[in-house]
């Protein structure tokens, strides 16, 4: 039996091929080190093209040689330092704006009508922040505005007229709140009183508006009526409600033929006579009016029956 000889295979080329990349890399490192030792600048991967040397658009299209590295894929340390400096500057700008959000909002609100604040706005746009002196000037202005606002509030509170028997009005709204009335409103011929939401800017306050027209007149807080400057004709109407809210409710119903609490038209004889409906009466503590009206109607029917028997 004749055996077939195994052909001789040389691995010399394979070894050379595997070793070549390592050798080239080592040679490149040696040349780079020698270049730096001789006074040359170290090079780094280009941050714009990631070493490819080609500029890529957002859609992935090839836009030609990278402008940052001129298509080489490598840049010097100064380019890297500039890129890092730009990133650091942007991060510092964002952090400064976050740390001084109140000051920035204050500047933006006043920039349209105040040259100084407009210049501060320009400074932030150009440099990303204000100098320490500029920031201190803005903060002093904010403090003065806060102090002036507090002084005006105190002055208005001192000048606000006290309403006698305010407890009569407050009792009405406390009763409505106890009965879970969602929108507590009490209407009279001249003014309408509405309770402010507990989650709003003036929780527990009572807003006063004109019944016809709805113009805002002021608010009742801690037993005082804080009216706006132009609302000079509502204080007496408010005092009348404080003295006898029931009488004012009757006047409203007689004029508008509607319930003073919900504003709905009164239809049932008892409701018309009582000037309040069957739902609002108990909720607002005015159910005594309905009881009186029911008794009056019963008396009238009894008298009519007695007359018919004669």
The pLDDT confidence band at residue 6, using thresholds 50, 70 and 90, is very low
Average pLDDT over residues 27-47: 63
Give yes or no for residue 309 having a pLDDT over 70: yes
Give yes or no for residue 137 having a pLDDT over 90: yes
pLDDT of residue 163: 66
Does the pTM surpass 0.75? The reply is: no
∠ CA 230-235-239, rounded to 5°:
170
pLDDT of residue 222: 77
Average pLDDT over residues 37-42: 57
**Tell me: the pLDDT tens digits for 73-102?**
788 777 777 777 677 878 888 899 999 999
Name the 3-class secondary structure at 234: coil
DSSP 40: P
CA distance 156 to 204: 19
Give yes or no for residue 9 having a pLDDT over 50: no
Query: Among the residues of the chain, which ranges form H helices?
Result: 12-37, 77-99, 101-110, 115-127, 132-159, 166-178, 235-243, 245-256, 269-274, 280-283, 287-309
**Tell me: the pLDDT tens digits for 208-217?**
999 988 899 8
The pLDDT confidence band at residue 32, using thresholds 50, 70 and 90, is low
CA distance 217 to 227: 6
Give yes or no for residue 122 having a pLDDT over 80: yes
- Give me the residue label for tokens 């890129």: 83
**Tell me: the pLDDT tens digits for 161-190?**
666 667 778 888 888 888 878 888 999 999
Name the 3-class secondary structure at 308: helix
Give yes or no for residue 18 having a pLDDT over 60: no
**Tell me: the pLDDT tens digits for 281-292?**
888 888 888 898
């Amino acid at each position: 039996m004749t055996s077939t000889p195994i052909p001789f295979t040389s691995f010399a080329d394979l070894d050379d091929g595997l070793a070549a990349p390592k050798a080239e890399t080592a040679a490149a490192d040696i040349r780079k080190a020698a270049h730096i030792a001789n006074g040359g600048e170290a090079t780094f991967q280009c941050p714009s093209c990631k070493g490819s040397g080609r500029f890529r658009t957002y859609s992935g299209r090839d836009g030609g040689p990278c402008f940052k590295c001129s298509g080489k894929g490598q840049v010097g340390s100064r380019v890297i330092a500039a890129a890092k400096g730009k990133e650091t500057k942007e991060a510092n700008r964002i952090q400064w704006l976050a740390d001084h959000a109140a000051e920035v909002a204050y500047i933006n609100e006043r920039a349209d009508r105040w040259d100084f604040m407009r210049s501060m706005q320009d400074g932030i746009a150009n440099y990303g922040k204000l100098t320490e002196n500029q920031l201190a000037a803005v903060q002093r202005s904010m403090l003065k505005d806060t102090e002036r606002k507090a002084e005006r509030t105190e002055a208005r509170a001192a000048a606000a007229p006290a309403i006698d028997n305010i407890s009569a009005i407050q009792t009405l709204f406390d009763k409505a709140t106890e009965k879970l009335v969602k929108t507590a409103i009490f209407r009279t011929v001249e003014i309408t009183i509405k309770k402010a939401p507990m989650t709003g800017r003036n929780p527990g306050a009572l807003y006063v508006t004109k019944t016809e027209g709805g113009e805002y007149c002021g608010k009742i807080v801690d037993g005082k009526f804080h009216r706006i400057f132009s609302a000079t004709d509502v204080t007496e109407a408010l005092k009348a409600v404080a003295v006898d809210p029931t009488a004012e409710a009757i006047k409203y119903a007689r004029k508008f033929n509607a319930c003073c609490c919900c504003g709905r038209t009164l239809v049932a004889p008892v409701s018309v006579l009582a000037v309040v409906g069957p739902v609002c009466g108990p909720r607002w503590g005015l159910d005594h009016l309905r009881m009186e009206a029911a008794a009056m109607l019963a008396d009238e029917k009894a008298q009519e029956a007695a007359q018919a028997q004669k």
